[in-house]
Amino acid sequence: MLALFAHRLTIGRDRQAARRNAAATFRAEVLAVLKGLYPLPLEWPADITHALRKAAPALQSAVAQFRPFVPWWRRRAFDRAWFRYRSGSGREKDLQNYHHYIAFGSNPNARENFRRNVDALLSFAK
């Protein structure tokens, strides 16, 4: 009985360590891909849509690799945060629509929207 308890404790510790490592890797990859844009937009490009489309494959890979380590009860929220980051329209058919990160008359807080969405995505990697 004691051996079973020790075994389960070891498995739990191993899972927790794997999740911590996956979270650190996810966070590092996202920060590397969005360097200059996040957390402070020091190098905000004139064409943010092109820059984010170029970064999309690396981010999608990082999200796909990290998703299995998100607890099952938080996966729906994680998927929603990823969807909100890459498509602010709310329409499922818009796989990559970054218009919500372009500053114009009715959208003066584009950079804040970007930071808020990336913060929400990274909040799962704590």
pLDDT tens-digit map of 93-119: 556 778 888 888 777 888 899 999 999
pLDDT tens digit sequence for 22-72: 999 999 999 999 999 998 888 888 889 899 999 999 999 999 999 999 999
- Per-residue pLDDT, 116: 94
Q: What is the pTM of this model?
A: 0.86
Report the SS3 class of residue 46.
coil
Task: Judge whether residue 11 has pLDDT over 90.
Answer: no
Domain count, the chain: 1
Q: Which domain holds residue 87?
A: 2-125
How far is it, in rounded angstroms, from Cα 25 to Cα 2? Answer: 35
- Whether 7 has a pLDDT exceeding 90, the answer reads no
Tell me: cis bond preceding 39? Omega within 30 of 0 counts: yes
Q: How far apart are CA 59 and CA 52, in angstroms?
A: 9
d(CA 70, CA 53): 25
